[in-house]
Amino acid sequence: MLVHPQFDPVAFHIWKWPIHWYGLTYLAAFVLFLVLANRQVARPWHAARGWTRRDVDDLLFYGVLGVVLGGRFGYVLFYKPMEYLSHPGNILAVWQGGMSFHGGLLGVILAMAFFGWRRGYRFFEVTDLIAPCVPTGLAMGRLGNFINGELWGRPADPGLPWAMVFPQAHDAVLTPRHPSQLYQFLGEGLLLFVVLWLFSRKPRPMAAMSGLFLIGYGLMRFIAEYFREPDDFLGLRALGWSQGQWLSVPMIVAGIVMMVWAYRRAAKAPQAASSA
């Protein structure tokens, strides 16, 4: 049975300024996005549509705004609406923690829609471009969760070789738990990245890439929630599912609908061209 190392949240200091591990994981996520997105815009089918490296820089700016604002307000609305309704001033107290991936996703969707409108790109052109570049950022975020010893997993069989005690959980006894942050790092991070990156190596019907991202993330998150400790202020909901699982189901459904629509639309295009 392993014990979480309880890393110092401060990685190092620059003069008197503390540099936190969590900030470094966010920085790594942004750098990885720039590298991967620049690889994407260099692909012939994206370059033919006029995508440039400058677009990637602007996409990162819009995306960061979407993640931060959407993630915070999503947490407020999805997880603690009554608490923040009673204390609205705490909504801006982001240093106290509280971000929602699903809210961040909605924020990014709005940001990408605005970017596409400003630059003359169709919405799914934008989301298809960024979809394979997102999972590495998710992986970095989960790595930050593990370093901070937060969002730990549910109790595990003590015989599980990688079961881990998280002292931060303040259990009455030393409860071995699943290191669910690492499960999510591997699933919705690395595995999803490999699937999407391989899928992006050929031109796909518009919206297919975005749909696959929604399906892949939704499935990975849904599975991981069986090993992740539910929020203590929410517990489990109907069917014994967590809030994260209920929020993932619409993503999976939307992704399936998008992929079916994308391939049906692509199949009809040659027929329309031949009859013209």
SS3 annotation, the chain: CEECCCCCCEEEEECCEEEEHHHHHHHHHHHHHHHHHHHHHCCHHHHCCCCCHHHHHHHHHHHHHHHHHHHHHHHHHHCCHHHHHHCHHHHHCHHHCCCCHHHHHHHHHHHHHHHHHHHCCCHHHHHHHHHHHCHHHHHHHHHHHHHHCCCCECECCCCCCCCEECHHHCCCCCCEECCHHHHHHHHHHHHHHHHHHHHCCCCCCCCHHHHHHHHHHHHHHHHHCCCECCCCCCCCCHHHCCHHHHHHHHHHHHHHHHHHHHHHHHHHHHHHHHHC
205-223 residue pLDDT tens: 999 999 999 999 999 999 9
Tell me what the mean pLDDT of segment 129-141 comes to: 95
pLDDT for res 274: 47
pLDDT of residue 1: 76
> Mean per-residue pLDDT for 256-272?
87
Tens of pLDDT, residue by residue over 64-113, are 888 888 888 778 777 777 777 776 766 666 555 667 777 888 888 899 99
Which range has highest mean pLDDT (107-121, 219-233, 247-261)?
A: 247-261
| pLDDT at residue 83, rounded to an integer | 75
Query: What does the pLDDT look like over 13-48, one tens digit per residue?
Result: 988 888 888 889 989 999 999 999 999 999 999 999
pLDDT score, position 87:
67
Report whether 43 belongs to an annotated binding site: no
